[in-house]
Structure 1
Amino acid sequence: MRIRSLALPLSLVFALAACTDADTPESSRVAGPGSPDAASSAAGPAPTGGSTPVSAKEVCAYLDGQLPTLRGIGSEVGTMANLTVNLYSWYEKQGAVPTGRQIDDQTRQECPATRTEVLDLAGMQSFETL
């Protein structure tokens, strides 16, 4: 029964990830660990279009605003799916999508309590999971 309840949210996450990746120009995709560009992407993708990275304060304000919605979802998988899609979309609108490690670093410093609650609700240990 548990597998069936996970199938729809996981399908949604994979479908959105596939669509997002397919729509992303090759030059702006983040390199994986085994790719030649992995070393240059270790610090995260460079901001696009001359934009600046999002500050820790802005990230924390966004996550604080998302907490009521995340609390109301009621399942870790649903929360993780919601967080994945909405956080990525929010960052994309800001112009620079950081790595999970960068989000972890910023939220550990600026809003550790919010970080902990968001990750707990999504059943994650780190934003690197996204």
Structure 2
Amino acid sequence: MTHQNVFLRERPWTPSAPFWCTVTAYYQWGQPITLWSGDAGNVRLAVRVLRDRVEALAVDLGLPEGDEQLLWLDAPSAEGQAADDLAKGRPHAITITHGNVVYIISATRTTSAEAGAAVQGLLCSA
């Protein structure tokens, strides 16, 4: 039995699932940090991951229930819009600002590995 070196892998790396989800913290100063990332096998699962990650981040940050930034969780059409975006090949992201940090919870098709360009667009428009 040979052990594979985890540091050696083919480039470019492509995820095996059709959707890639991330939670990234963008600090006012310094480099962004990916706090969580994972893949999802279909649109419904990707939307579920978005919801779970937004809920988890809200708990971690201690955001009160009803916080304006969490309206995505309660909007009846929010998950439908996310599913529609992902099904049409568009990334979908939710932003939460806490102090000097902007958190972006995003899901995108894996053809672009992560929603880097879309995230940058969100930051520029915020």
- Normalising by the smaller structure, the TM-score range is under 0.3
- State the TM-score, normalized to the length of structure 2: 0.26
Larger helix fraction of residues: 1
- State the TM-score, normalized to the length of structure 1: 0.26
